[in-house]
């Protein structure tokens, strides 16, 4: 990352897509004091630069506003890639222990007392073989915890279960399940959704240097993919501490809207009581480029096999399938009213259409009481009932979607490509739509595959212009920064990226391969290929 550069800079001879409806294209921009000082022709911008300025010739390359990643897990992604054991994508249950042993041998002390890793895919193993007994053989005394490919469930060995106080007599928690061996109450070690909480809460905190390095790596990686603004969907206390430190020392390469989990102990890395205190004390971590008036709520689980913890509507009755919704409508409505009074925006995880419907109902209840003027957000929006589409715009609710899962041929994700993500339907109704990577689920925070997916979604596809607006300006608006960022306009922050291809001139099938050659945040270069 470069130091702040006070020298005014003219970026000329480019194909600059501004996402400004009044002037969608320009040839050059002038950056002064971290802001866009002028937008126009190369001749005009060069003349406006004056003596002592710097000129960067874009050589005809396309530039556009920096990307807003509407759903990211920065710290978790850094920890996962630098300080955890990774299983091979084709690993079966009988392979886990051997691969973990090799990881421990290679990483040694970087792992700490616990062996943490993933991501295992239960669908690749024979039924009944995802079991702690294979981990126990290799790690009889050392606790092991693995996350599955959905990141919502886990597998613990006997030592980890012992430390967590989970045994045959332990009852399933609300919103979770302890998988049992057939014909008994004995836990296999596999834990579904909230059943992971007891284990997560006994995993020791890492050394602060680990959190710092993991987060710094994640931020640098996001910059490489053109991200200049992100919504952190699982802001834990360690992450907030280092985001604040990076913001204060000037090394933070993007704006971060930090969403603190509410009553979600797995992604919050803390008890519900501790998370409540963190939300109450959130302003201690806010700063120039870190905003903390956001919470993250989980209304249901995941629509991925084998556990399918998403809350869907029963096609016969039209009612929610029982046992999948995590909060009652009234409870969520009261929470929304309280957050509105505190100026807090909620990002509410909904993967099933019943969850989406119930959240929209709760927001409507809060609005009807005269409260809840804050822009609220439904996260993922994988499946939406047709009768609920219009309510997004009517209630001024952001539809955040994370569709990079489309690029690739994984059969488990076919439903998303076939009937998920109603982009065109929502856009036609005037809904604010944003795009996120859900990085940690994906190997990289790359939104160009998602951009391509939005354009290739059959009757629900939208134009490239609308898709780029979802990727930039809509994201800034969703977090209250539409007047500051999201488009290349005079007076806005100089946040933009330069690409290796013109997205308007290449085949749609080539968009997923786009590379970011330059990322500029507040006028300073934070990534250069």
Q: Are 217 and 82 in contact (CB under 8 A)?
A: yes
- The architecture of the domain spanning 1-65+487-529 is Roll (2.30)
At a CB cut-off of 8 Å and minimum separation 6, what does 13 contact?
Answer: 27, 28, 42, 57, 58, 59, 60
14-28, 59-73, 367-381: least confidently modelled range: 367-381
pLDDT tens sequence across 119-135: 999 999 999 899 999 99
Predicted local confidence at residue 415, as pLDDT: 74
Residue ranges of the chain that CATH labels 2.30.40.10: 1-65+487-529
pLDDT tens sequence across 504-521: 999 999 999 999 999 999
Helix/strand/coil percent split, the chain, to 5: 35, 25, 40
Q: Taking residues 162-171, what's their average pLDDT?
A: 98
**Cα(390)–Cα(385) distance, rounded to whole angstroms?**
10
230-234, 282-286, 324-328, 458-462: least confidently modelled range: 458-462
Q: What average pLDDT does the structure give for the chain?
A: 95
Alpha-carbon distance values, 249 to 244, 281, 463, 527 (Å): 9, 22, 40, 18
Determine if residue 134 is left, alpha or beta; phi over 0 gives left, psi from -120 to 50 gives alpha, anything else beta: alpha
What's the pTM?
0.96
Predicted local confidence at residue 1, as pLDDT: 35
Per-residue pLDDT at 529 exceeds 80: yes
DSSP state of 373: -
Q: Taking residues 219-225, what's their average pLDDT?
A: 98
Residue ranges of the chain that CATH labels 3.10.310.70: 74-200
Longest dimension (CA), the chain: 82
Q: What are the tokens at 324?
A: 């999948």
409-413, 417-421, 451-455: least confidently modelled range: 409-413
Which of 266, 258, 252, 269 is CA-nearest to residue 233? 258
**Cα(142)–Cα(148) distance, rounded to whole angstroms?**
20
Q: Taking residues 13-36, what's their average pLDDT?
A: 98
Q: What are the tokens at 216?
A: 């710094």
Predicted local confidence at residue 236, as pLDDT: 98
Per-residue pLDDT at 169 exceeds 70: yes
CA within 13 Å, CB half, 236: 22
DSSP state of 320: B
Q: Are 66 and 519 in contact (CB under 8 A)?
A: yes
CA within 13 Å, CB half, 515: 5
Q: Taking residues 79-85, what's their average pLDDT?
A: 96
> Which fold does the domain 74-200 belong to in CATH?
Diaminopimelate Epimerase; Chain A, domain 1 (3.10.310)
Q: Taking residues 439-459, what's their average pLDDT?
A: 92
Q: Are 464 and 34 in contact (CB under 8 A)?
A: no
**Cα(376)–Cα(392) distance, rounded to whole angstroms?**
10
Predicted local confidence at residue 2, as pLDDT: 42
Q: Taking residues 314-329, what's their average pLDDT?
A: 96
pLDDT tens sequence across 360-390: 999 999 999 886 678 899 999 999 999 999 9
Q: Is 300 exposed, middle or buried (0-12, 13-18, 19+ CB in 10 A)?
A: buried
């Amino acid at each position: 990352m470069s130091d702040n550069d006070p020298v005014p800079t003219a970026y000329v001879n480019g194909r600059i897509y501004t996402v400004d409806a009044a002037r969608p294209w320009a040839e050059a921009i002038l950056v002064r004091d971290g802001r866009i000082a002028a937008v126009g022709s190369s001749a005009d911008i060069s003349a406006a630069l004056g003596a002592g300025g710097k000129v960067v010739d874009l050589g005809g390359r396309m530039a556009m506003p920096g990307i807003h990643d509407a759903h990211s897990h920065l710290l978790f992604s850094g920890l996962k890639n630098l300080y955890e054991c990774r299983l091979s994508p084709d690993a079966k249950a009988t392979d886990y222990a051997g691969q973990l042993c090799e990881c421990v041998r290679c990483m040694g002390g970087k792992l700490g007392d616990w062996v943490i890793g993933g991501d295992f895919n239960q669908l690749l193993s024979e039924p009944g073989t995802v079991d702690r007994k294979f981990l126990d053989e290799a790690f009889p005394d050392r606790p092991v915890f693995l996350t599955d490919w959905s990141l919502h469930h886990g597998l613990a060995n006997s030592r980890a279960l012992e430390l967590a106080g989970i045994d045959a007599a332990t009852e399933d928690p609300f919103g979770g399940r302890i998988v049992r061996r057939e014909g008994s109450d004995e836990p296999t070690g596999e834990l579904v959704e909230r059943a992971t909480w007891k284990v997560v809460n006994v995993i020791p905190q890492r050394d602060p240097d680990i959190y710092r390095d993991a987060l710094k790596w994640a931020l640098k990686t996001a910059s490489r993919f053109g991200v200049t603004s992100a919504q952190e969907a699982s802001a834990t206390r360690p992450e907030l501490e280092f985001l604040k430190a990076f913001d204060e020392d000037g090394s933070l390469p993007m704006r971060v809207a930090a969403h603190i989990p509410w009553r979600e102990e797995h992604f919050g890395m803390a008890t519900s009581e501790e998370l409540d205190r963190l939300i109450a004390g959130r302003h201690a971590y806010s700063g120039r480029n870190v905003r903390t008036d956001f919470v993250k709520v989980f209304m249901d689980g995941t629509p991925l096999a084998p556990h399918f913890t998403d809350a869907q509507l029963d096609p016969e009755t039209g009612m929610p399938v029982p046992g999948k919704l995590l909060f009652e409508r009234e409870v969520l409505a009261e929470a929304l009213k309280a957050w509105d009074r505190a100026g807090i925006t909620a990002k509410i995880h909904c993967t099933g259409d019943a969850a989406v419907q119930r959240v929209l109902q709760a927001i409507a209840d809060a609005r009807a009481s005269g409260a809840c003027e804050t822009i609220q957000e439904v996260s993922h929006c994988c499946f939406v009932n047709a009768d609920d589409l219009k309510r997004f715009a009517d209630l001024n609710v952001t539809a955040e979607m994370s569709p990079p899962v489309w690029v690739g041929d994984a059969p488990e994700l076919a439903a998303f490509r076939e009937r998920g993500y109603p982009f065109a339907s929502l856009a036609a109704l005037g809904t604010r739509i944003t795009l996120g990577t859900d990085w940690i689920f994906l190997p990289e925070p790359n939104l160009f595959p998602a951009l391509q997916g939005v354009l290739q979604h059959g009757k629900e596809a939208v134009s490239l212009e609308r898709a780029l607006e979802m990727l930039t300006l809509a994201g800034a608006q969703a977090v209250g920064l539409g007047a500051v960022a999201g488009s290349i306009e005079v007076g806005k922050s100089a946040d933009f990226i330069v690409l290796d291809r013109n997205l308007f001139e290449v085949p749609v099938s080539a968009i997923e391969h786009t590379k970011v050659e330059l990322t500029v945040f507040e006028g300073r270069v934070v990534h250069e290929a």
